[in-house]
Amino acid sequence: MGAGDVTVFSWDDLAGNVGYERLRGEVESLYTGDRQFGEECMLAVAAVVGGAEADRSRREAALPFLFAELPLVLDTPAILGVGSSLFCYPRPMPMVDRLYAGTLPVAPSPRQGFLVTRLT
């Protein structure tokens, strides 16, 4: 893989991106319409905002960040018009494990990968 095969983009680049907006809308609809997925989202943000003791309002305030990232975890190739993509994150995300295991009502594209990075 050469340097020409790498695409870097910012959140601003996603504004108005039809694929991104479609996936984000699907994620938000699943949150409100599918109990299991909604609970999974709340668990995912709880880990970031203080764990199980974080109150519901604090977890709900963090949901937009999860909704912003999930489309990229699910199908960056469709969003950017590329053949494949690898989403890199600095810590494990248990929700991602369940997405890839097929136990949630939405799954990543076969062209989408996920990598947990670690500083050594």
Domain boundaries, the chain: 17-115
Q: Where do the DSSP E strands lie in 34-104? A: 85-89
Q: Determine which of 32-46, 49-63, 82-96 has the lowest per-residue pLDDT on average.
A: 49-63
The reported pLDDT for the residue numbered 115 is: 94
Does 58 or 6 have the greater pLDDT score? 58
Quickly state the pLDDT bin for 1 (edges 50, 70, 90).
very low
How far is residue 109 from each of residues 50, 55, 56, 99, measured CA to CA in Å? 30, 33, 31, 10
Q: 17-115 has which fold?
A: Rossmann fold (3.40.50)
For the cut 60, the answer to whether the pLDDT of residue 81 exceeds it is yes
What pTM value is reported for the model? 0.87
Predicted confidence at residue 4, as pLDDT, reads: 58
Mean pLDDT of the chain: 90
Average pLDDT value for residue range 88-116:
94
Paired with 86 in beta bridges are 113
CB-neighbour burial class of residue 7 (10 A; exposed 0-12, middle 13-18, buried 19+):
exposed
Residue range 105-119: mean pLDDT, rounded: 94
Q: What is the pLDDT of residue 113?
A: 96
What percent of the chain shows pLDDT beyond 70?
94
Rounded Cα distance between 27 and 78, Å, is 15
Residue 6's identity, in one-letter code, is: V
Other CB atoms within 10 A of residue 46 CB? 18
What phi, psi does 57 have (nearest 5°)? Answer: -65, -35
CB 85 within 8 Å of CB 113: yes
